[in-house]
Chains A and B, each alone.
Chain A
Amino acid sequence: MEPVIHFAPYTGWVYPNETVFEWSVLIAVYPYLTGLVAGAFTVSSLYQVFGFERLKPVAHMALLTSLSFMIFVPTPLLLHLGHPERAFNSTITPHLTSAMAMFGFFASFYVALLILEGWFAYRPFIVAQAQKRTDLLGRFYRLLTLGSYDVSEHAMRYDRKWIFALAVIGIPAAHGLHGYVGFMYGSLKSREWWSSDLMPVIFLFSAIISGVSLLAVLYVATCKMRKIAVDLGCLKGLAYTIWAFIMVALVLEGLEFANIVYKGREGVDMIMQYVTGPLLVPYFVLQFGIGAITPFLWLSYMIWRGTSGKALIVGVTICACLVLFSVFMMRWNVVIGGQEISKTGKGLLSYHMPFWGKEGAFMAIALTLAPLGLLYVLTRLFPPWSDAATHAHS
C-alpha cells in the first residue's frame, strides 16, 4: 500500500509541516478550467453583445464550450477535499469572510445563467426537433421546450432581448468568477509569490486568452472533422482577440514579477534563487518564452503581413495551442510554484507529481479533457454550426 504522506524534498529551512504538499496538480487544473469557461464566454459575448459579426461561426460553440467546462469545474475540488461529502457545508453555512465559501454561489449562478442563455439561443432548434422527431430524442426535445412552441417573430424578438440581457450579465459573472479565483490566491498574505493585488486581473486576462485559444483550436478541429472550409474571417477575429489580450496578460505578469523584485521584501532572495533555478524552465522558458512571447510574435507577424489561407490556419492553431499550454503553466507556476517557495522565505521545496492516484497526472489530464467529451455530446444534441440548419438565434 502506498504511504499516506508524500513528503517533499527540500533545501534550506522550511517549516516542518510544509514538507507535505497540500495543494496538488488538481488545484492547478481548477483555475485552468474556470479560465477556459470565462474565456470561451468572452467570445460568445463579443458576438452577442458587442456585435463582432465575424465571430458568428463560433458563438454557439462558445456557449456550449463554456457550459461543458463549467460543469467540470468543481470536480478537481471535490476530488481534492478530505471530506467531499461535506462539500455543501460551505454553501449551506457559508463563512462569509472566506473567499472560497462564495464559490458555490458564483458557480451555481453562472451555470444557471449559461443554461438559460443556451436554452433561449437554441429554442427555435429545440422546437423544430420536438415537432419533427417521434423517437425518444423527440421526447427529450419536447421536454426541453418547457411547453413553449411559439417561434413567431414576436417571440423571437423577445428571446433575443433575453439572450442579450443574459450575455450582458454573463460578462461580469464569467469574469467575476475567474477574477475571484485569482483573489483566492492573491488575498493570502502567507506567501509572497501569491500575495499580490494584481493576481485577480492576471488570472482574468490569462483566462481570456486561454478560452479564446481553445475556441480557435476547437473551431479549426471541428471544421476539419466536418470537412468544411474554415471561415478565415472568423479565425482572424479569434487571432486578433488572442493577440490583443495576450499583450495585456504579458504586461500584467511582467509588472507583477517586477513588483516582487523591485520591492525586494523579505524572502525575495529565495524567490530569485527559485526563479533562476527550478522555475527557470517552467516560468521563463515554457510559460513566457514558448507559451506567450512566441505566439505573440507569430500572431503579430501574421497580422502585419496579412497572412491568409493555410498558413493562417496552421499559424493560429499552433499559436492557440501554445497559449493553452502557457496558461496551464501559469496556473502550475502559481499553485505549485507558490508552495515550492517556503513560507519561511529561507527554503525551497520540490513537488513530485504522481502519475496515478486521486491527485495524479493522469487524473489531471482526464479532468482537463473530460469537458471535451461532454462538449461532443452537447454538439450532437445541439449543433452549434451556423452553416447548418440549426435555426438557432443568430
Chain B
Amino acid sequence: MTKESKPTLAARRAFLTKLGGAATCAAAGAAALAAIPGASAKTEPAADGAAFPTKDYDWTKHQWGFGVDATKCIGCLRCVEACKRENDVPANAHQFRTWVERYVHLEGDDEVHIDSQQDPVNIEASGSEKTFRFANRYKDAKVYKAFFVPKLCNHCTHPACVQVCPTGATYRTEDGVVLIDHGYCIGCRYCVQACPYGARYFNEEQGVSDKCTWCYHRITKGLQPACVEVCPVGARIFGDQRDKESPISLFIRNNRVQVLRPETGNAPNVFYVGIDKEVN
C-alpha cells in the first residue's frame, strides 16, 4: 500500500469536516422540521409566494407529461397524503387532487369491486379523514386479480373544463398544464360538472374550484410534483416531453401507453400502463 500524499489527506480531512458540519446542520434542520407537524414530509415550502411565478422560467421551453405505471402501485396512499399537505387540500375524505383506486376481482364473482381511499370502510380503517389507507377488506376472500390505479387531473390538450369556464379563470398554460386563477374564479362549478374524470372539486371555504396542478409551483423550479417525489415504488412518472431522455419520454417510448376515456376527445396527458378494461 502506498503512502498517501499530503494533498489527498488534506482533501479527505476537509471533506470529513464538511460532512460533520452537514450532519450537524441536517440534524438541527430535522429537529426543527419535526417540531412543525406535517412539515417534515415536505421538501419545499408549500406556498412560497415570493418564489412563484418562478423567475427565469420559460414556459415555451417545456411540455410536461405524467405517467402512471399501475403495475408498480402498492396502494400505500403516500401520494394522496403528500398532495393534501403540499397543496392545502381540505383535510376530509371528499375532496382530492389525486386519489388511488383499487380494483379487485374475486374468484367466482364476475363483478369487479372498486373502491378508493374515501370509502367509509377505508376511512374507518385509517381512523381519520386526514390520513388514508386501504382496509384489508378482502383478507378472507379469494382474490383472483387485483391492482391499484392512481388518478389525478389529466391536464388534457382539449380540456372540457377550460372550454366551459365562463370567465377564463381556468386555462391551459404553454407548457401543457391546466391551472385555475383562484382570484378570478366565480365559483359556478361548471368545470366540476364538465370534467369527465371527476378530477375537480369545489373548495367551499375559498369559494372556488380546485384541482391538481402537477405541483406547478414545484415543477417550474425543477422539482418533481409532491406525489411523484414521495412514491416509494416509482409508479408515478413525471417529466418534460420535449426532453427525449426525460423519465416521461422514456416511459412513453418504452411502453404501450393508453389514456383514460379517449372517446371524449379531451386528449389527456396522463399516460397509463397496466390498467384493465374497467378503468375509466
Contacts and interface: CB of A to CB of B under 8 A. Distances in A.
Interface of A: 4-5, 7, 13-20, 22-23, 77, 80-84, 86-87, 89-90, 93-95, 97-101, 103, 184, 188-191, 266, 339, 343-346
Contacts of B128: none
A5 B193 CA distance: 17
A81 B186 contact: yes
B52 interface: no
Interface stretch (B9-17, B109-117, B135-143): B109-117
B280 A345 contact: yes
Nearest to A190: B196
A87 B186 contact: yes
Contacts, number: 139
B201 A20 contact: yes
Q: Which 3 A-B pairs have the closest CB atoms?
A: A82-B187, A15-B198, A82-B207
B204 interface: yes
A23 B194 contact: no
Contacts of A184: 190
Interface string B170-209: 0000000000000011111110111111111110111111
Interface string B209-226: 100000000000000000
A191 B264 CA distance: 11
A82 B208 contact: yes
Contacts of A81: 186-188, 207
A264 B62 CA distance: 42
B29 interface: no
B254 interface: no
Interface string B241-270: 000000000000000000000001100000
A98 B164 contact: yes
A90 B166 contact: yes
B79 to A, nearest CB: 13
B118 A16 contact: yes
Contacts of A82: 185-189, 202, 204, 206-209
A98 B198 contact: no
Nearest to B205: A4
Nearest to A89: B167
Interface residues of B, number: 49
A239 to B, nearest CB: 38
Chain B CB count within 10 A is highest, among A15, A95, A103, for: A15
Contact of A83 (B99, B187, B200, B205): B187
Contacts of B95: 5, 16-17, 20
B275 interface: no
6 contacts: A5-B90, A22-B192, A23-B193, A90-B167, A97-B164, A190-B264
Contacts of A84: 186
A4 B163 contact: no
Nearest to A191: B193
A215 B189 CA distance: 33
Nearest to A189: B264
A22 B193 contact: yes
B168 A93 contact: yes
Interface in B142-170: 151, 160, 162-169
A188 B161 CA distance: 10
A93 B185 contact: no
A189 to B, nearest CB: 5
Given A23-B193, A188-B194, A189-B196, A17 B280 contact: no
B92 interface: yes
Nearest to A103: B166
Q: Is the interface of B mostly helix, strand, loop or mixed?
A: loop
Contacts of B115: 13
Contacts of B96: 16-17
Contacts of B209: 82
B160 A189 contact: yes
A23 B118 contact: no
A167 B206 CA distance: 44
Contacts of A16: 93-96, 99, 116-118, 198
A29 B239 CA distance: 46
B236 to A, nearest CB: 17
Nearest to A102: B166
A191 B195 CA distance: 9
Nearest to A345: B280
A5 B203 CA distance: 9
Given A13-B114, A188-B194, A189-B264, A4 B164 contact: no
B167 A190 contact: no
B196 A86 contact: no
A5 B186 contact: no
B171 to A, nearest CB: 9
Contacts of A343: 196-198
Contacts of B185: 82-83, 86
Contacts of B196: 189-190, 343
B186 A17 contact: no
Given A86-B186, A100-B190, A103-B166, 17 more contacts: A5-B204, A7-B94, A13-B115, A16-B116, A17-B200, A20-B202, A22-B189, A80-B189, A82-B185, A82-B202, A83-B187, A86-B185, A89-B169, A99-B164, A189-B265, A344-B280, A345-B280
A188 B193 contact: yes
Contacts of A13: 114-115
A194 to B, nearest CB: 8
Chain B CB count within 10 A is highest, among A22, A93, A184, for: A22
Chain B CB count within 10 A is highest, among A16, A77, A94, for: A16
A346 B92 CA distance: 23
Contacts of B184: 86, 89
Contacts of B280: 266, 344-345
A94 B169 CA distance: 10
